[in-house]
Amino acid sequence: MHFDLTADQRKQLLENLLPRLEEYYANTRDLRVAPQLDKEKLRELLAGTDLTTGLPPDEALDSVVDNLLKYQVHVPHPMYYGLYNPRTNFPSILADLIAAYFNPQLAAWSHSPYAAEVENYLVREYGARFGYDRDSVDGTFTSGGAEANLTGLLCALNHAYPDYAHLGYRAFDREPVIYSSDQAHHSVVKAARVAGLGLNAVVSIPTDEGQRMSVDSLRDHLLADTTAGNRPVLVIATAGTTGTAAIDQLPAIAELCQKYSCWFHVDAAFGGAAILNEEYRPWLAGIELADSITTDIHKWLSVPMGTGMLLTRHPDMLNKTFNTPAEYMPREGKELSIVDPYTHTIQWSRRFLGLRMYLSLLVFGWEGYADTIRHHVEIGHYLRDRLAERGWQIVNDTPLPVVCFTWPGVDDPGNYARTVCQRVVDSGEAWLSVYPIKGTDHLRAGITNYATTRADIDRLVELLQRLGVPAATDAN
């Protein structure tokens, strides 16, 4: 067949490719962290490749690897201190290879019962660690936090309006209102748009000095909207905001949600993984009261991008929200007490996402994850201490490994942060971001790589001293 390379060809391609991938994996720190950006050069490169008949397979592979090496921010680099993009652990990489070979279809349980039950098992076990009842927790793997947050919103609408699945917006007897903090992920407002509620349905609750949702303000808005005849449908709290890794006051928010019969969703895409280390469980106190939880496996649990999860303590809500009978779907398991995954998710056909997490657990165990999370947290504390020792000012307050900082006394802190960040990125030695706190940009460093060491932190601090400390300052 035209698409089926010979066994010898496949073997040779793997023998050539795997050493290159291993070289990258083992020696990522030898590369520039960020590429030099040139859109026109890239477009000329792609336009100059003849795809009419294709390339010899070995040349095709070399082309892709060469250009990824040259034109990518290398997020697996231990000096990448940016967004929540981790270095992937090796078993999860192998999981993607296995899934690509077997290509299981996770729409119908009967087509891949092992894969479906692996994911069901992970939902039960991970849900139990958040405090849900193992026997009633439900959930689904998602493409990431955005899909999980949208799923949480749709569950909330079906909870508030029992006829929503059939009538859509016509089921609304009162105007639905969603509440999230001004630090919540922007997927919240996107979800409101996708669901047809519109941006005006989302009320942005101000935050306190620690960038946590103001419980007093939320209370006032809930009372005002209820008095005005509107229907509070959903409150989205955050456990580990994108910018400063703040954790909202979950118990107090849960109490308000219960009072107003409002669905309580916690976006714990990043911070949720702290639950896997017993020492850090108190940080997420109250998360067990959430009606649903977003958590991203591809963030702190170090697996390939595109691996999220939505968990809920309501075992019937995903079915109520998504179950759409289809006559053409396989029926081999109809006599069994099973759930077809497509009935519990936005997606229909779906990759075996759970294998990335499961194979990692088979190799490292929950204890291995607890140790890795402790390492991240300790490295975060070390970065704070080293920056403070050298005169930098820490401007966020979180136990999670995200540090926002500035040099005190500069005339224009926002411009200063942007300038220093660009210098660091241009150096190729590290990657930082900036994030606005109370309207002013600050430098931001997140620990996303389990391979980042104290020596790497020392390198970062020395780089900042060289590129960021104002010339007139005696910073030792």
**Average pLDDT of the chain?**
93
In sequence order, the 6+-apart residues with CB closer than 8 A to the CB of 299 are: 84, 86, 269, 270, 273, 448
Q: What is the mean pLDDT of residues 149-164?
A: 95
Q: What is the mean pLDDT of residues 53-70?
A: 93
Dihedral in degrees, nearest 10, Cα atoms 85, 86, 87, 91: -110
For residue 471, the model assigns a pLDDT of 67
Structural domains of the chain, ranges and CATH numbers in brackets: 105-351 (3.40.640.10)
CA distance 397 to 183: 14
**What radius of gyration do the chain's Cα atoms show?**
24
313-329 b/e with 16+ CB inside 10 Å = b? Answer: bbeebbebbbeeeeeeb
Assign residue 144 a region (left: φ > 0; alpha: ψ between -120 and 50; beta: otherwise).
Answer: left
**Is the overall model pTM greater than 0.85, yes or no?**
yes
CA distance 183 to 210: 11
CA distance 246 to 441: 16
For residue 473, the model assigns a pLDDT of 56
pLDDT tens per residue across span 288-333: 999 999 999 999 999 999 999 999 999 999 999 998 776 655 665 5
Task: Give φ, ψ of 322 to 5 degrees.
Answer: -120, -15
For residue 421, the model assigns a pLDDT of 97
**Residue 382, pLDDT above cutoff 80:** yes
Contact 232, 260 (CB under 8 A): yes
* Site of tokens 């306190």: 208
CA distance 309 to 311: 6
**Residue 475, pLDDT above cutoff 60:** no
Strand partners, 434: 443
For residue 279, the model assigns a pLDDT of 97
pLDDT tens per residue across span 396-436: 999 999 999 999 999 999 999 999 999 999 999 999 999 99
**Residue 165, pLDDT above cutoff 70:** yes
For residue 36, the model assigns a pLDDT of 84
CA distance 133 to 176: 29
